[in-house]
Structure 1
Amino acid sequence: MEIAIDKKVLLQVEHLKQYFPVKTDSLFKPKAYVKAVDDVSFHLYEGETLSIVGESGCGKSTTGRAILRLDEPTDGKVYFDDQNILELNRNQMRKLRGDLQVIFQDPFASLNPRQTIKQILNEAMAIQQVVPKPKRMERMLELLGYVGLPSEALDRYPHEFSGGQRQRIGIARALAVNPKLIICDEAVSALDVSIQAQILNLLKKLQKQFQLTFLFISHDLSVVRHISDRVMVMYLGKVVEIAEKKDLFDSPMHPYTNALLSAIPVPNPEVKKERILLKGDVPSPIDPPSGCRFHTRCPFAAEKCKTEEPTLREIKKNHFVSCHFAGNLQN
């Protein structure tokens, strides 16, 4: 995949695979795997927001977890600041985690209910040793100010806050260690729509203020359209399309992307939008289809699609598609 030379690549993922064993034979050796992420490659520029979208089970969250090594990848390479983090030992990885942070989907489950907010923020700074102990209180008050919470919040517990406030605490904890990259794993999907907008605007503000880079994982294309610079579409563990946000939303080139975009609701009831309904169910990741994995549901599938797997290729500038007929289909 061609990379623009005028931008610094902060994260480079090459041929990432994440297989989970699900069946064993009589000798307790795996004989079947869930191919959750299967040969995924992409790059992320410093200071940008790349969103990963797709149906539930497509592998987008697993990709994020594999990058962070919350699950150890089966194969592939993950370069962060030109360093392959999959080669680091446990101590080296712990030091690097200050640069790599995550905001989880459920803001309540991701916070320790037995700790006050002060203890939660202090623990992050103590482990990474980013702030001297005498200055941590001052830093914690700064963090609360950044995310729009009062100073009294430090002495309260997570259950005393609303969902939106808890997510702000999660953001403050991520910021506490001065990260370069934050992976937002469905970070607003558990929130009300009005609160979603507040959190998204907060993330954009913080990104500009601290020169942050986001890998934003979501199934909500309306949210993705608001926050992204580029968008990557996944289907059944594979990347099917990557493009600049405007280009992807205005001119999708993969049939699956086109179907996803057709499902975005239109706020004007007088505007009629044709919905593309895909036939059949998503195949099992244990035994994915041969050739193009989307061919079992694709309205344009040909014999070639059943036997030959398409490669991710650049159809036009910075627009990559994994489809044999990309550019020749009418969207």
Structure 2
Amino acid sequence: MMMTADQTKKPLLEVQNLKQHFPIKGGILGRTVNHVKAVDDVSFTIFEGETLSIVGESGCGKSTTGRAILRLDEPTSGSVFFEGKDLLAMSKSQMRSMRKDLQVIFQDPFASLNPRQSVAQILGEALAIQNIVPANQRRERIIELLSHVGLRPDQIDRFPHEFSGGQRQRIGIARALAMQPKLIICDEAVSALDVSIQAQVLNLLKSLQKEFKLTYLFISHDLGVVRHISDRVMVMYLGKVVEIADKKSLFDSPQHPYTQALLSAIPVPDVSKKQERIILRGDVPSPINPPQGCRFHTRCPLAVERCKTEVPALTNVHSTHQVACHLVP
């Protein structure tokens, strides 16, 4: 499999030909009549200590990819190697023991915390399940975790409704950090927060990454956020990867027409600088019956006949930049 990062780094996660097709039932007998092809033959690598971001429109398969990696949804096919071990080949008990290394921060801090549990109970439950810290040392460990995410020790016995949205997300981060993970999947982790709070949480994630040598898979639709936190960026469209590149290459020289359209929508703070907006025609096709050939061809302003029949392969533009487009040499 092609890699697009510093070859001296060690691969932590390797996803190969991942597919997530959800069955559609119909008829009196409830037979499968079709599938929603949410993720369709996706491959990528994440290296130790980096942040790989996945971006794209709603419904492109970003969050489904993260859930499939964690086996929150069982993938249809493919392989997910974590430190050389295939997660999809593991039994439920084997996977349970791996979960301490693979954690997730969810999008909605209001829904991801149990309103009936205090902070001590929420974080203590995580420590107890994996038996990481002896029972008589858990409270001390929870206070330590709160300090890492910018919360006070006297907040340990409070309940989620007593916190702001940003503080709740810090509790979610502390819960993920409690497992001493190697990889954290951030699923739209700041999209539900105010802009000023987003910046604080992003800076917190970056400082924790440096302190604990964490690796992030960061899922977002906000390109401004992605530009701030990423080392590399992967662009998805309708269940397919269309471009992977290091952050500088992608933002300075996007190659795929879809990526170019996404970047053209980023607001420019300097009104004296005019930026041409690329308006995509039509709607995103249904993932139940995606277009033949390149899935973007129905909306692409540059599409040719070949795009309608032949699926473009993900090929190297240079060592740190790959694109799936017939029009890119």
TM-score (norm: length of structure 2): 0.98
The answer to whether 1:189 aligns with 2:188 is no
Residues in 2 aligned to 1:89 and 1:153: alpha-carbon distance in whole angstroms: 38
Task: Give the 4+ runs in structure 1 shifted more than 6 A.
Answer: none
Q: CA deviation at 1:23?
A: 3.4
Residues in 1 aligned to 2:26 and 2:81: alpha-carbon distance in whole angstroms: 33
Q: Which moved more, 1:260-269 or 1:287-296?
A: 260-269
Residues in 2 aligned to 1:132 and 1:11: alpha-carbon distance in whole angstroms: 30
Q: Deviations over 1:233-253 (max 9, x none)?
A: 000000000000000000000
Question: 1:295 aligned to 283, 297, 304, which one?
Answer: 297
Residue type at the aligned position of 2:73: D
Q: Deviations over 1:55-78 (max 9, x none)?
A: 000000000000000000000000
> What is the match of residue 100 of structure 1?
102
Q: Secondary structure at the match of 1:175?
A: helix
The answer to whether 1:155 aligns with 2:157 is yes
> What is the match of residue 248 of structure 1?
250
Q: Deviations over 1:59-105 (max 9, x none)?
A: 00000000000000000000001000011111111110000000000
Question: 1:166 aligned to 161, 164, 168, which one?
Answer: 168
Q: Secondary structure at the match of 2:140?
A: helix
Residues in 1 aligned to 2:21 and 2:303: alpha-carbon distance in whole angstroms: 27
Question: 1:121 aligned to 120, 123, 126, which one?
Answer: 123
Correspondence 1:1-331 to 2 at 5 A:
1-3=1-3, 4-327=6-329
TM-score (norm: length of structure 1): 0.97
Residues in 1 aligned to 2:161 and 2:128: alpha-carbon distance in whole angstroms: 23
Q: CA deviation at 1:318?
A: 1.6
The alignment-based identity, stated in percent, is 70
Q: CA deviation at 1:26?
A: 4.7
Residues in 1 aligned to 2:224 and 2:201: alpha-carbon distance in whole angstroms: 14
Q: CA deviation at 1:25?
A: 4.3
Over aligned residues, Cα RMSD in angstroms? 0.9
Q: Secondary structure at the match of 2:204?
A: helix
Residues in 1 aligned to 2:305 and 2:253: alpha-carbon distance in whole angstroms: 26
Give the unaligned 5+ runs of structure 2.
none
Aligned residues: 327
Q: CA deviation at 1:31?
A: 1.5
Residues in 2 aligned to 1:29 and 1:8: alpha-carbon distance in whole angstroms: 44
Residues in 1 aligned to 2:133 and 2:249: alpha-carbon distance in whole angstroms: 42
Residues in 2 aligned to 1:128 and 1:225: alpha-carbon distance in whole angstroms: 35
Q: CA deviation at 1:138?
A: 1.3
